[in-house]
Amino acid sequence: MDFRHFTLLVLGLLCGPTTATALTDGPYVFQHGARQEAHWICDGEVQTRPIADDGKVKPICGLVPTLQLEAEKIIAADHLPSVRRWAAVSDIHGQSELLLRLLRAQKIVDAHNNWSWRRGVLVVVGDVMDRGPQQLDALWAVYRLSQQARLAGGRVEMLLGNHEIMVLKGDLRYLHQKYLAVAQLLGRSYDQLFAADTELGAWLRGRATVLKLGDTVITHGGLHPKFADQALDIASINSSFRDFLRQPSLQEDPRIAWLLGNDGPTWYRGYFPPMPAESSQIQALLKQAKATRIVVGHTTQPHIRSLYQGGVIAIDAGLKNGQSGELLIFDKGRLWRGLLDGRREALLQE
């Protein structure tokens, strides 16, 4: 029995034989010296194609449409100016179809999943990866929309969540079992499918962890009240995470270790029970950040919630369950909950 058939046998035991033989995923784009190659798995078979000089990757199977690879890697912004309308969504966790359905419902993308929000800004607040079965599709969707939005005068920014950091450093405990088989067929561990010599790996390493958009600070987990005791240097936080992803041994640095830990911006849950921060701490934090609100994901809520008199907006509304989800919309000076049926409901303070 060869390696491919052994892998499909294992996947068949885990997921059933139909799933194993129909395994389809990709593309994974690798840099080999001066050339790039795209690898797919089509019905359990690895397919490889060189990428032409124009950087276009045309699909040979799967759901990902034609891609235009970025000619140069753009480092994500730390700050963006105020805009008339913006939206934020978090914790997609491999639910690409549901994410796109939500964006279509709110007219952020069109019927063909192309950017249609002109100069608007969409922030994907981390945890695109892990858990669900469409994480690669979701990553390419965000990558593609970021290009389209930029051409239209808008922006799509993806922030790193704790699960992106986990996957990139090889912690695969929450990985959907489909991707274990993908990694075996492609001959790399799954984290190495997003190494620095891959298109998505290089792109992810250039993302931010904290973004200030106008008067709103956005990050996956949250900012610990300790940040109120010092000048909040968002650029330094983002560069520290990027430095760690380039050089993992930097986790021995006490400052970087703290940023990576439970009180850091990708893991912090201190705005919620059982031991939520005090309102005075949130106000001090907002004053230090020169911000009106902090938008966070990470801690799942029954719906998008406005807490601390509007000082904290919790936007992880359970999209990862694959059945429901919401996004936060700022438009015409007001905050709204954007729903899957296309409706908007005014965000009420709790």
Q: What mean pLDDT is predicted for residues 67-84?
A: 94
Which tokens hold the place of 108?
């952020």
Q: What is the mean pLDDT of the chain?
A: 93
Beta strands 35-42 and 25-32, pairing class? antiparallel
Which pLDDT belongs to residue 162?
98
Q: Which residue, chain included where needed, has tokens 């610990």?
A: 224
Per residue in 322-348, pLDDT (tens digit) is 999 999 999 989 999 999 999 999 999
Q: What mean pLDDT is predicted for residues 5-27?
A: 60
Q: For a pLDDT cut of 90, what percent of the chain falls above it?
A: 90
Per residue in 259-269, pLDDT (tens digit) is 999 999 999 99
| Residues contacting 268, CB < 8 A, separation 6+ | 221, 222, 223, 224, 262, 298
Question: Model confidence at 3, in pLDDT bands (50, 70, 90)?
Answer: very low
Please state whether the peptide bond connecting residue 27 to the residue before it is cis, i.e. omega within 30 degrees of 0.
yes
Which pLDDT belongs to residue 11?
53
Per residue in 154-164, pLDDT (tens digit) is 999 999 999 99
Closest C-alpha to 60, from 41, 81, 79: 41
pTM of the model: 0.94
Closest C-alpha to 146, from 137, 132, 158: 158
Residues 234 and 311: beta-carbon distance below 8 Å: no
DSSP β-bridge partners for residue 218:
211, 295
Cα–Cα dist 160/166, whole Å: 10
Cα 202–Cα 205–Cα 210 angle in degrees, nearest 5:
150
Closest C-alpha to 319, from 100, 144, 156: 100
Question: Model confidence at 6, in pLDDT bands (50, 70, 90)?
Answer: very low
What DSSP letter does each residue of 319-336 carry, written as one string?
A: GGGSS--EEEEEETTEEE
Closest C-alpha to 295, from 139, 163, 129, 124: 124
Closest C-alpha to 320, from 97, 154, 70, 112: 97
